[in-house]
Homo-oligomer: A and B are copies of this chain.
């Protein structure tokens, strides 16, 4: 009868899961490259910006990595999170499928983001770091890192993509409550920001530009490091607690998904939810060996579905090492869709590799069809989704509607990555019929692609 599947506190996972372990030794991830030297990036490229605890995890071949006690203790304020059966949505759709969502919106900042923010703040604190810089799109990551830094007494400086800064003023207020400092990006506080503003004073900003600003600010001081809320291996790792809990919750009800779905900006919530299932499939241990894994992105920023699989920079100003990933080019500035967290030109190299090897499927949607799914969800299940999350809901609904046609009783599960309590301006626009769908940005992508770095990829095979 109950819709929530609740995991007892004692069942909370105490180790993270590392998908890289499934690829070794025969199919290792491509290394990040120093574009200047055309050599694999060494620790010296990353030590100025990341603490060692995090860098070790970035490179780790281990399958299981202990979650520090201090991190678990903070996560236990809201974890384990509920897995919930969406019965009312199923009934509304008239589907024979079962739909489940993992509710990550119950965290204090309202999304999955603190799963890695708390871990990263912990490793920085352990190494004596006093300040952390970062970027944020819609504000979920910036508020999560402000929250986590505040827990450890670290100062947090957030470069927030300007279009979101203006659309979502209360995300900024929330960061202020948690002692975070917030600067709209592009800003005139960094060289990279000033360069962008000279070219286009009205630039709406992008995650790529905001990353450049945050990385530049971190280089300025040795007690200051940078923190990234997605993309990198250690972030995917920290998020796997989502999927690991979900697997236990499905065991409780003796079910298992046929398909697991997540929305993708940099990939972290999608990877965190799905990689533990994917690992089971790759090891031949999945209860349903054919379990599908689906990544959902916006048509306005179609990295996985329309990008190229190539080495590119993580940021606009080319300050990061180059990584092999799906990319639209580091110069690409996506249209100002409300799902600010999905406006990223690249994607997690690990997730990109899985897409490239057909382990993971990718689909793209326009924002109006996603808002339609979000409103349907809110009117059936009650919860108000973040615009990012609405992409996963759209895909889950479409999977359920396919089951309605075929009569299949599949189990569909998606990650409910965050709530939309700070995104009601977007809902107002949608309900008023004023929301724009942006055409596939063909010309902008073509231009941006011309600026990919020239990297000679090292051989991947041993």
- A residues in contact (CB < 8 Å) with B: 1-10, 12, 69, 72-73, 76-80, 82, 84, 87-88, 106-110, 147, 150-151, 170, 173-174, 176-179, 375, 378-379, 381-384, 419, 421-422, 424-425, 427-428, 431
Contacts and interface: CB of A to CB of B under 8 A. Distances in A.
Contact of A9 (B6, B107, B110, B381): B6
Contacts of A383: 77, 108
A282 B6 CA distance: 33
B6 A80 contact: yes
A144 to B, nearest CB: 10
Contact of A174 (B69, B76, B147, B424): B424
* A4, A78, A378, A383 interface centre (most CB from chain B within 10 Å): A4
Nearest to A9: B2
Nearest to A118: B382
13 contacts: A2-B12, A3-B76, A6-B80, A77-B383, A78-B82, A147-B382, A170-B424, A173-B428, A174-B384, A177-B375, A177-B384, A178-B379, A178-B382
Contacts of A78: 4, 82, 382
A179 to B, nearest CB: 7
Contact of A177 (B88, B151, B379): B379
A141 B177 CA distance: 25
B150 A77 contact: no
A80 B82 CA distance: 11
A147 B2 CA distance: 19
Nearest to A421: B421
Given A177-B378, A177-B431, A378-B178, A76 B424 contact: no
A79 B4 contact: yes
Stoichiometry, as copies per complex, reads 2
Given A176-B431, A378-B178, A421 B110 contact: yes
A69 B2 CA distance: 10
A424 B379 contact: no
Given A3-B77, A78-B82, 17 more contacts: A1-B69, A4-B76, A4-B77, A4-B78, A77-B382, A108-B381, A108-B384, A109-B382, A110-B421, A173-B427, A176-B428, A176-B431, A177-B378, A177-B379, A177-B384, A177-B431, A179-B379
A8 B9 contact: no
B5 A8 contact: no
A134 to B, nearest CB: 18
Contact of A106 (B106, B150, B424): B106
A249 to B, nearest CB: 11
A5 B9 contact: yes
Contacts of A72: 1
Contacts of A4: 9, 76-79
A47 B333 CA distance: 61
Contacts of A9: 2, 4-6
Contacts of A1: 69, 72-73, 76
A8 B80 CA distance: 12
A108 B431 contact: no
Contacts of A178: 378-379, 382
Contacts of A147: 382
Contacts of A431: 173, 176-177
Contacts of A177: 375, 378-379, 384, 424, 427, 431
A79 B6 CA distance: 10
Contacts of A7: 6
A263 to B, nearest CB: 19
A280 B80 CA distance: 31
A3 B424 CA distance: 31
Nearest to A169: B424
Given A1-B76, A72-B1, A76-B3, A108 B421 contact: no
Contacts of A2: 9-10, 12, 76
A69 B4 CA distance: 15
